[in-house]
Amino acid sequence: MLFGRNKKNPIKIADKKAEKWTYATCGYCSVGCSIEVGTNAEGKVVGSRGVGGADVNRGKLCVKGIFEHELFESSGRGDKPLIRDSIHQGYRETNWDEAAKKMVGEINRIQETYGRDSFAVVSTGQLLTEEFYTLGKLTRGVIGTNNYDGNTTLCMASAVSGYKRSFGSDGPPGCYEDFEHTECLMAWGSNLPEQHPIIYWRLQEAREKRDFPLIVVDPRVTMLAQKADIHLAITPGTDVVLQNALMYVILDEGLEDRDYIEANTVGLEQLEAEVQKYDPTSAAAICGIDEDTIRNVARIYAKAGSAMSIWTMGINQSTHGSDGVVGINNLNLITGNVGKEGGTSLSITGQCNAMGTREWSSCSGLPGYRALENAEDREEIGKFWNVDPEFFPKKRGLAQTDIFPAIETGQIKGLWLVATNPMTSMPNTERTRKILEKLDFLVVQDSYADVETTQYAHLYLPAATWAEKEGVFTNTERRVNIVRKVTDAPGDSKSDFDIFNLLAKYFAGSEKMTFPEKPEGAFEEMKTLSKGRLVDISGMNHDLIEKQRGIQWPYTDEQADKGELPPSGGKRLYTEAGTFRYADGMAKLIPLPFIDNNEVPDDKFPFWLNTGRLVEHFHTRTKTGKLGNTNKYSPIPFMEINPDAAKELGIDQGEYVRCVSRRGDAVVMAMLTQRVPKNMVFIPFHFFDCVNRLTLGLLDPHSRQPAYKQSAVTIEILEDQQAAAQLSMEMRRF
């Protein structure tokens, strides 16, 4: 049956009248999706869409990317520098000249009084690579503090450290195309559907073409765990034990790839000696995976023609994060699974430009994966920048997680935070507050004036965000991709690139150096510095990058000169035998003794506290918390708790509860679900004054990354639900 009105009105469908689409790379996570931002005839930003011809995302975007264009008009943006003498006063607006003078004056004063390293810089994974490079030049070449790090210490430091220890250099060797070839995929503490939905889609596409086993290691039944053929619900913090046990079986049953090991690695004997202590029977008692399953998984992985491992924070954010990465590398090296199609150790990175900061920001070294510890590297960069190489420290300074304790104990007096929000992201919020309160001088440089750290700042510098500026990002698969400018930044705010250049002019001694005026200029310097190195980008330029929808490094000027276009994807590292970055070209097999130093549940604090990400939110919610179409899926913090545990405690679905650890407490809404075991709760990490009031964050000895995912808590019911709702709401200004 059909029904129609006799006279039909024209059908009205929203038409945003986008006239121009500008190319950009998504500024949220590290997947590196190509996105086009639409503007109408008046130049107003009206929409976003995925770029169909881009290899990474092939026209798709996740919920955050789809609404990324709304960021330009989101609330809380800063449009004027703000200044005050003491954190007990209110801010007043100022101009850039006064702001820069104040900042440089304070840095000089602090460094003259307490020493060069008494002023620290903590940056981010959010800036464009040219900006990172410029900040590095300013910090290493002019300011000269060695206490300079990025917030990547909170997310990727363990991957970096593990890559360096195993392969002699940072740099994820695989690519997304590996899904198309692999015969076994093992995901360690990685929940692609929620954290990296576009990579999940690439995996799903591959699985629909060709079935292969998916093994997921996660204490929580994540969406990926539900899609897995085998889910290993591991005891938190015991990944290394499982890895050793898997290697025990592989070596015990002779499933290793002897030829590969011979041609590519050193250290097999020591590794074999260590894994002898982890027979599956003993290991099962520690990691909670039964011995038969351990043997089964080891055999599947080793016998697969090619096998790959991916991981995210489940590995990185633990006391053995770096070891966990090395363990994955060990597993892949002994089975011959690095540098081949479908065989790799691929860390799935967090921030849009975590890779860019690793490569070019000089945070833990010097640009282009150079090390402060290496005299040649210091010499080369000193010469290139026109800085006395002796001005550079000879050893890496403090990581972010050591800078904060150094403020606590008074060695560091001043801090510059660039696009990062430790008030929400660092473990133990109350301690972080006290630390920030102690500073003589805190500068916060951020797109948002309402970022929580401004409560403790003396100076706020308003920065442009994402496509209000131009430059490149590097994604998880080493793809350099470009962001073009779509619209102007609000008010007097400036791009971070321009802020760094402006500040440089106010420092004595910067005249002899060059700070290119445009991002392209900085990119040209990076190209020169990359020649002949692992991270060789010398064949690229901004226009070619846009044309190719991103280019994976290495892509050299020789290739470009020959007219060899970069492939659309599928580029890998270490494809030739013996080309690892240690001097002898060999990768290291490193034995991993297991030390259990986690805060485990006990009678007083009977629950494991696990933390993690939600698909609709990004990091500390300064962006996604303001957009209704992302925020509405989880506008307030919640806690997953097992219904059996909830019943014993008398907690109903949707009730507010108080979660208490040895550090502090948090009020959250209870979500009853069998996704978590009876002795574990899960709270997302995005919310201010919430889960990080509880976390311990013991540091990994190698990477200095905090173990967010292993703490112990207890749960208390709240009689006065109305007061709890009020309290919860007071903590959500957005």
Partner 1 sequence: MFEVRSDEPKYAFLWDKETKTKNQYGDSIELASETSDLHGVSLNINNDAALGENPNRYKQHGFYLNADNCIGCHACEAACSEKNDNPAHIAFRSVGFVEGGTYPEYQRLNISMACNHCDDPVCLKGCPTRAYTKYAEYGAVLQDPDICFGCGYCTWVCPYNAPQLDPVKGEVTKCNMCVDRLEVGLKPACVSACLGNALDFGVIENVPDNREQSKTEIPGFPRTDITHPNIRFQQTRQTKREMTRTDSMPLKYHKDEDEGQYKPVVDEKHGAKRQWNWSSLLLTHESSHVIFTLTTQAVLGAFLIIVLGHLVDSQLILAIKSSAAYLPLLVVMNGLLMTGLFKLNMHLGKPHRFYRGFYNLRHSPVSREIAGVSLFFTSLLGFTFFSFLDIELAVTLFAILGALSGPIGLFYMYKLYRIKARPFWDHWQTASSFVGNGLSIGALIIGLGILMGSGISSVLYKDLLVVLLIGLLLETAGHIAHARDLKKGAGEGAASWYHQVTLYGWPYIISNALLVLSILTTVALLAAPTSVVLWCVLAISLLSTVIIRRSLFFVLVIPTNMPGGFFWKNKGFEQHAKESGLAKMQQVGVAYEAHRVFNIKELVKTIKETSMKEAVDQIKGIFIWKEVK
Q: Please give the C-alpha separations between residue 203 and each of 104, 224, 505, 520, 525, in angstroms, as whole numbers.
A: 49, 11, 48, 35, 36
Q: Please give the C-alpha separations between residue 212 and each of 158, 207, 300, in angstroms, as whole numbers.
A: 28, 7, 10
Least CB distance from residue 136 to partner 1, whole Å?
36
Residue 383 or 647: the one with the smaller Cβ distance to partner 1 is: 647
Please, what is the angle between helix 429-437 and helix 400-408, to 10°? 60
Residue 63 or 502: the one with the smaller Cβ distance to partner 1 is: 63
Least CB distance from residue 657 to partner 1, whole Å?
15
Least CB distance from residue 150 to partner 1, whole Å?
28
| 732 contacts partner 1 (rule: CB under 8 A) | yes
Residue 51 or 403: the one with the smaller Cβ distance to partner 1 is: 51
| 467 contacts partner 1 (rule: CB under 8 A) | no
| 491 contacts partner 1 (rule: CB under 8 A) | no
Which residues does residue 416 pair with via DSSP β-bridges, in sequence order? Answer: 121, 443
Contact 152, 353 (CB under 8 A): no
Residue 47 or 144: the one with the smaller Cβ distance to partner 1 is: 47
Q: Which two tokens stand for residue 54?
A: 């881009």
Residue 3 or 395: the one with the smaller Cβ distance to partner 1 is: 3
| 547 contacts partner 1 (rule: CB under 8 A) | no
Q: Sort strands 656-660 and 706-707 into parallel, antiparallel or unpaired.
A: unpaired
C-alpha to C-alpha distance for 650 and 648, rounded to whole angstroms:
6
Exposure string for 498-518, b = 16+ CB within 10 A, e = fewer? bbbbbbbebbeebeebebbee
Residue 149 or 640: the one with the smaller Cβ distance to partner 1 is: 640
Contact 474, 359 (CB under 8 A): yes
Residue 132 or 656: the one with the smaller Cβ distance to partner 1 is: 656
Least CB distance from residue 200 to partner 1, whole Å?
6
Least CB distance from residue 675 to partner 1, whole Å?
5
Residue type for 521, please? G
C-alpha to C-alpha distance for 399 and 276, rounded to whole angstroms:
34
Residue 57 or 264: the one with the smaller Cβ distance to partner 1 is: 57
| 508 contacts partner 1 (rule: CB under 8 A) | no
Residue type for 409, please? T
Least CB distance from residue 398 to partner 1, whole Å?
37
Residue 85 or 719: the one with the smaller Cβ distance to partner 1 is: 719
Cβ neighbours of residue 679 under 8 Å, at least 6 residues apart? 601, 606, 607, 608, 645
User: Of 400, 415, 428, 510, which is closest to residue 124 (Cα–Cα)?
Assistant: 400
> 184, 615, 657, 690: which one contacts partner 1 (CB under 8 A)?
615
Which residues does residue 29 pair with via DSSP β-bridges, in sequence order? Answer: 351
Q: Give the count of residues interacting with partner 1 (CB under 8 A).
A: 77
Least CB distance from residue 568 to partner 1, whole Å?
12
Which residues does residue 266 pair with via DSSP β-bridges, in sequence order? Answer: 588
Residue 67 or 605: the one with the smaller Cβ distance to partner 1 is: 67
Least CB distance from residue 10 to partner 1, whole Å?
4
User: Of 450, 412, 404, which is closest to residue 430 (Cα–Cα)?
Assistant: 404
Least CB distance from residue 532 to partner 1, whole Å?
35
| 81 contacts partner 1 (rule: CB under 8 A) | no
According to CB under 8 A, which residues from 192 to 211 bind partner 1?
A: 193-194, 197-198, 200-201, 204-205, 208
C-alpha to C-alpha distance for 523 and 130, rounded to whole angstroms:
6
Residue 592 or 651: the one with the smaller Cβ distance to partner 1 is: 651
Residue 209 or 562: the one with the smaller Cβ distance to partner 1 is: 209
> 164, 231, 295, 581: which one contacts partner 1 (CB under 8 A)?
231
**Contact stretch for partner 1 (CB under 8 A) within 121-129, 175-183, 223-231, 404-412:** 223-231
Least CB distance from residue 154 to partner 1, whole Å?
24
Q: Which two tokens stand for residue 461?
A: 């510098």
Least CB distance from residue 710 to partner 1, whole Å?
18
| 299 contacts partner 1 (rule: CB under 8 A) | no
According to CB under 8 A, which residues from 624 to 663 bind partner 1?
A: 625-636, 638, 642, 652-654
CA triple 228-230-232, angle to 5 deg: 110
Least CB distance from residue 546 to partner 1, whole Å?
13
The full DSSP string for 29-45 is BTT--EEEEEE-TTS-E
Specify the DSSP class assigned to residue 489: P
> 40, 44, 223, 570: which one contacts partner 1 (CB under 8 A)?
223
Least CB distance from residue 4 to partner 1, whole Å?
5
According to CB under 8 A, which residues from 10 to 69 bind partner 1?
A: 10-16, 47-48, 51-53, 58-63, 66-67
C-alpha to C-alpha distance for 521 and 544, rounded to whole angstroms:
15
Residue 322 or 624: the one with the smaller Cβ distance to partner 1 is: 624
| 177 contacts partner 1 (rule: CB under 8 A) | no
> 227, 277, 531, 662: which one contacts partner 1 (CB under 8 A)?
227
Residue 31 or 399: the one with the smaller Cβ distance to partner 1 is: 31
Residue 115 or 654: the one with the smaller Cβ distance to partner 1 is: 654
Compute the half-sphere exposure of residue 98: CA atoms within 13 Å on the CB side of its CA.
13
Compute the half-sphere exposure of residue 403: CA atoms within 13 Å on the CB side of its CA.
32
Residue 9 or 86: the one with the smaller Cβ distance to partner 1 is: 9
Instruction: Enumerate long-range contacts of 40-49, CB under 8 Å, 24 or more apart.
Output: 40/16, 41/17, 43/487, 45/69, 45/72, 45/73, 45/486, 45/487, 46/16, 46/17, 46/18, 47/16, 47/18, 49/21
According to CB under 8 A, which residues from 232 to 271 bind partner 1?
A: 233
| 290 contacts partner 1 (rule: CB under 8 A) | no
| 9 contacts partner 1 (rule: CB under 8 A) | yes
C-alpha to C-alpha distance for 548 and 566, rounded to whole angstroms:
8
Residue type for 547, please? K
Exposure string for 99-116, b = 16+ CB within 10 A, e = fewer? bbebbbebbeebbeebee
Least CB distance from residue 226 to partner 1, whole Å?
6
Least CB distance from residue 235 to partner 1, whole Å?
12
| 612 contacts partner 1 (rule: CB under 8 A) | no
According to CB under 8 A, which residues from 656 to 715 bind partner 1?
A: 671, 673-678
| 484 contacts partner 1 (rule: CB under 8 A) | no
